Structure 1
Amino acid sequence: MDTREVLTKYYEYANAGDWNRWCDLFAEDQVMDEQLAGHIEGLSKLRSMMAGMGDMYRVFKNEPVHFIVDADGEKAAAVSHLTAVSAGSGKAIEAEVMNFFRIVDGKIVYMANYHDTVPFQVLSQV
């Protein structure tokens, strides 16, 4: 898979709630800097973290708006809009998101995301 295909699958699997296939897009030694979850190293840690994703949200959609892929195809950025509903509070979350990716041999080896954290405060409200 080339970088653009990896990005397309990343959002397709997330929006389908298919977290196993979503995790398959990452390298075994992946590193992620996730704004809410922190620094995550290794695919097994990522898989265990994502196993509970379906319990956090009644609705989760992260729709890509724009992809930027560098000339060598290793680095990419994606702008997206996230719409979700918290399973705990039932409150809506709307956020603009920017993700940075480094993709090598068709696998995500590094990812960082950036977004407004205020809309996600509803996750701690019951």
Structure 2
Amino acid sequence: METREVITRYYELANAGEWDTWCDLFAPDQVMDEQLAGHVEGRETLRGMMKGFPETYASFANKPVHVVVEGEQAAVVSHISAMTVGGESIEAGVCNYFVVTDGLISYMSNFHDSVPFAPILGK
């Protein structure tokens, strides 16, 4: 898949809650710098983390607002609307940066305000 296709699929699968298939978009040796989870290395580490996602969120949507793709790199400004299993609402703007190598996400980082995520962080 080309970079734009990978990025489009990333959001489609996330919004469908298909986390195992979503993890397949990442390279086996992927590196992620995630605002809440920290530094994550390896697709299987990521897959293990995502198994707990349905236990955290009753609903989750991450809708792209602006997508920029140049070669193997992409930046996406998006908006997350979520509901925790405890009923707390989360609304947050996000910016994701991706590097796609050989059709798989090899690096990703995201940037957002962590305050809206206080209900899941226990703060």
Same fold (TM over 0.5): yes
Which of 66, 73, 76 pairs up with 1:75? Answer: 73
Unpaired runs of 5+ residues, structure 1, are none
Query: Displacement of 1:64 after TM fit?
Result: 0.7
Which residue number corresponds to residue 5 of structure 1? 5
> Which ranges of 4 or more aligned residues in structure 1 deviate by more than 2 Å?
none
In 1, Cα distance between equivalents of 2:45 and 2:121? 22
> What's the TM-score once normalised by structure 1's chain length?
0.94
In 2, Cα distance between equivalents of 1:107 and 1:67? 17
Q: How do residues 1-126 of structure 1 correspond to structure 2 at under 5 angstroms? A: 1-70=1-70, 73-87=71-85, 89-125=86-122
In 1, Cα distance between equivalents of 2:121 and 2:95? 23
Q: Percent identity?
A: 58
**Aligned Cα root-mean-square deviation (Å):** 1.2
Q: Deviations over 1:44-100 (max 9, x none)?
A: 100000011111001100001111011xx111100100000011x311000000000
In 2, Cα distance between equivalents of 1:58 and 1:44? 24
